[in-house]
Amino acid sequence: MNASFPFRRITLAGCGLVLALTAGCARWIELATPPAGNQEPDASLIARNEQVPLVMDRVRITRNGSPQNPSADTEQRILGSLGDIGLFSHLVGTNNAAPPAADKVIHARLLFDEAVEPHAGDAAWKGIVIGASMFILAPFIPLDYDYAAHVTLELERWDGQIKRYESQSAGTARYHLFGATPIMIDELKGHVTESCLTTLAQQIVRDTTFYAASSAPINDPGIRAVSVKPRQAEPSSSNPAVIPVSVPAEP
């Protein structure tokens, strides 16, 4: 009996350590602003012969107000979301050759504004508490990482008319000390970005007829009016001007 008692204590301590480590590695994501609807946009809202190409002119990304270099992955994800709508014949990125200017084309300009708040001060204070407790409190003290995005998309039709769409979403990644990984941050950004793009797609689908090829003709440059200034009449060479000559008087 005396030999089994220490064994039980070791077993319970081991189970408690495993549970503590498991809880300490836990993480979960909460979206503050989920998409308005879960239905995917209908991809057959416009006939094939009515579709026109979409050209991405500019993609700007800011993070906490500071400009960032847009990555190719970000642009491809945006183009993929626009392609899933089914309104455009094909999509052209910023680094690809654009269609001829005489064709009917939709020009797109996108601004992706990110707001990141890792709560560095709060995390440092909680880290001190966890360290002072010899990591005993690690499974019980949660840490937060906030991420928000505001997306603005401008679509300009070939006749110069512009439609402007906006969407925003935010989320929080909650984790314990041992659950902080770059994958967690990427998952949070992915959920927030997908929420914004879904909302934009739903807004664009409502304006389906605006992007049909038959919705407006191509602007005709027309004939430019030229003003002609009349020339001033020049003196004729057959009738030269008479120059008076003074003759001295006779004495």
Do you know the residue count of the chain?
251
Beta bridge pairs of residue 163: 155
Output phi, psi for 66, to 5 deg: -100, 135
Hey, where are the domains in the chain? Answer: 20-35+59-67+107-209
Distance (Å) of CA 17 to CA 3, 114, 136, 139, 141: 22, 39, 10, 10, 16
Query: What's at 191, amino acid-wise?
Result: H
What's the DSSP call for residue 229? P
The 10 Å Cβ neighbour count of residue 90 is 12
Residue 132: the pLDDT is 62
pLDDT band at 210 (very low <50, low <70, confident <90, very high): very high
Query: What's at 133, amino acid-wise?
Result: S
Angle of helix 182-206 relative to helix 72-83, nearest 10 degrees?
Answer: 40
Q: How far apart are CA 164 and CA 153, in angstroms?
A: 6
Give the mean model confidence (pLDDT) for residues 152-165. Answer: 95
Residue 64: the pLDDT is 93
Residue 36: the pLDDT is 52
Q: With 80 as the cut, is the pLDDT of residue 157 above it?
A: yes
pLDDT (tens digit per residue) in 59-81: 999 999 899 988 788 888 889 88
CA angle 94, 95, 96 (to 5 degrees): 95
Beta bridge pairs of residue 149: 114, 169
Residue 1: the pLDDT is 47
Beta bridge pairs of residue 156: 107, 162
List of residues 6+ apart from 161 with CB closer than 8 A: 210, 216
